Every structure is written in C-alpha cells, then in structure tokens.
Amino acid sequence: MASSESNHPYHLVNPSKWPFVGSLAGFIMATGGIYYMHDGSIFAFLAGTALMLYVMYGWWSDVISEAEGGVDHTSVVKHGLRVGMVLFITSEVMFFFAFFWAFFDATVPLITRTAHEIWPPEGVVPFAAFGIPFLNTLILLTSGATVTVAHHKILHGDRAGCGRWLAYTVILGLIFTGLQAYEYIHATFGFTDGIYSSTFYLATGFHGFHVIVGTLFLLVCYFRTKKGHFTADTHIGFEAAAWYWHFVDVVWLFLFVCIYWWGGSGYVPPS
C-alpha cells in the first residue's frame, strides 16, 4: 500500500483468490494429465489448463492495474520485480541444464563412460544444421535486435514505435515456431526412436514451448502499448518480456551449436 499515509515503499498486496484457484488448476492439470496418460480422456487436463489460463489472465490483469494505478509500484518495488524476473530466468536456465546434461551424457564420455561411440546413432539422419536450423538462428538473432529497437523506442518515449517493433518481433517469433513445426513434420526420426530422438525432441521441444510463451508475452506487451501503457521510465512488463526473449534466444544458440551443428557433424551419409 503505497498510499499517502504509508511509511514505507513496499507494496502490501490485498488478499487474492488467484493463488488458491491457480493451485487448484495445477492440481487438476496434474491429475487430469495422469488420467490421460493412463488411457483416460484428456478432458480433465484441458479443463485444468483452461482454468490455469484464466488464473493467469486474472492475476496478471490485477498486477497490470496495480502498475498502472501509479501508487503501488514504487521504484523499490520495481527493483524487486526486476530481480525476481532475473531469478526466475536463472531457474529456467537450470531446467535446460538438465536436458543438455542428458545430451552430453549420450554423446561425450564425461565422468561416466556411457556415451555413444558414434553420434548420431546408426540409422538416424539428422537435419542439415546449415539449412532451416541456421535460418532459424538468423531469425531469432534478428528478433533479438528488433526487441532491442523496441526497447530504445520506449526509452525515448515513443510508444507507437515500441509497439511497431514489438509487432515485428512477434512476427519473427511466429515464423520461427512455424519453421520448427515444419521441421518436426519432416523429420526422418520419430519421437520414440531412441536416445537421439529423446534428447533432440525434448530439448528443442521445451525450447519451442518457451518461444511460444515468450511470443505471447511480447504480444501482451504489444497490446499494452496500444492501450497506452508503458512510459519512458516505467515499463517493467516490457523489460521482463525482453529479458525472457533474450534468454530463449541464448538457449537456441546453445541448441544450434551443440545439438544441430556439432551433434549432426558425425553423420556419414550411406554411400
């Protein structure tokens, strides 16, 4: 409560139903997901997901109106929000760390001698790294640049310009996702074809999921610029989205270099 009679710069939040309902949604998603995995219908899982999306919408709408209300988000609170976002991204990095570990466990004898001697394993025809994957690298790098331009626009108070460059970024994100989907459809190895497929699909799949989330995050920022949100010195939501996007970008660079390029370089086409 950063109202006039407050003695401190912190934001004491009013009671909210969202956390409780959100956990309920998580619980329904979990049980529903298991029901589905064990040959039940997917309905409960989808219902849980829908509830979760509703909670996200409601909760973040509250956050946005608090931000736009102008009193709650003092500079101290904003600093806290930024640190929080950095920490969240750190935890995401560690999540990908696990999948890279799985990949290197299969390809390099690190401290256990269980790696494969030939990689990709026999019979797997990997993607040519310098085809679509490299194109995707260029697309993501470009999108990193466009989101930075958007940031400069808002820093100079040009909200419309910020929105425009956000739109370019979102479009690049969508093209990336489309190309990934195209690639998945045309892959010569299926999801269940052994360890190569496992590491490939889960690492790139989770990355793709993060790209979609990041795209939505940027899209929300785009609509917020249309509604007249964000000013030259207050645009935490935008900053968070941009950081998240850069994180997604960096993960891709690692995926590209390790899994596509280096991981495909051992491929010997049948003569």
Q: Which of residues 92-111 bind another protein (CB under 8 A)?
A: 92-99, 101-102, 105-106, 111
Instruction: Tell me the residue length of the chain.
Output: 271
Q: Which is nearer to another protein, 17 or 152 (CB)?
A: 17
| Contact call for residue 161 and another protein (CB under 8 A) | no
| Tokens linked to 214 | 């990041």
The whole-angstrom separation of Cα 240 and Cα 53 is 19
Distance in Å, CB of 168 to another protein, minimum:
31
According to CB under 8 A, which one of 54, 74, 80, 148 is a site residue for another protein? 80
Q: Which is nearer to another protein, 28 or 154 (CB)?
A: 28
| Contact call for residue 209 and another protein (CB under 8 A) | no
Q: Which is nearer to another protein, 161 or 194 (CB)?
A: 194
Contact 244, 214 (CB under 8 A): yes
Distance in Å, CB of 188 to another protein, minimum:
17
Q: How many CB atoms lie within 10 A of CB 10?
A: 14
Distance in Å, CB of 113 to another protein, minimum:
8
**Alpha helices, H only, the chain:** 18-37, 43-69, 75-107, 132-155, 159-185, 195-226, 236-254, 263-264
| Contact call for residue 18 and another protein (CB under 8 A) | yes
Q: How far is CA 182 from CA 22, 88, 132, 256, in A?
A: 34, 30, 9, 17
Find the angle CA(79)-CA(223)-CA(155) to the nearest 5 degrees. Answer: 45
The whole-angstrom separation of Cα 65 and Cα 265 is 51
According to CB under 8 A, which one of 42, 50, 53, 83 is a site residue for another protein? 83
Q: Which is nearer to another protein, 28 or 166 (CB)?
A: 28
Distance in Å, CB of 208 to another protein, minimum:
15
Contact 120, 196 (CB under 8 A): yes
According to CB under 8 A, which one of 54, 56, 62, 254 is a site residue for another protein? 62
| Contact call for residue 1 and another protein (CB under 8 A) | yes
| Tokens linked to 87 | 């920490």
The whole-angstrom separation of Cα 232 and Cα 64 is 17
Q: Which residue stretch of 55-63, 149-157, 176-184, 213-221 sits at the interface with another protein (rule: CB under 8 A)?
A: 55-63
| Contact call for residue 26 and another protein (CB under 8 A) | yes
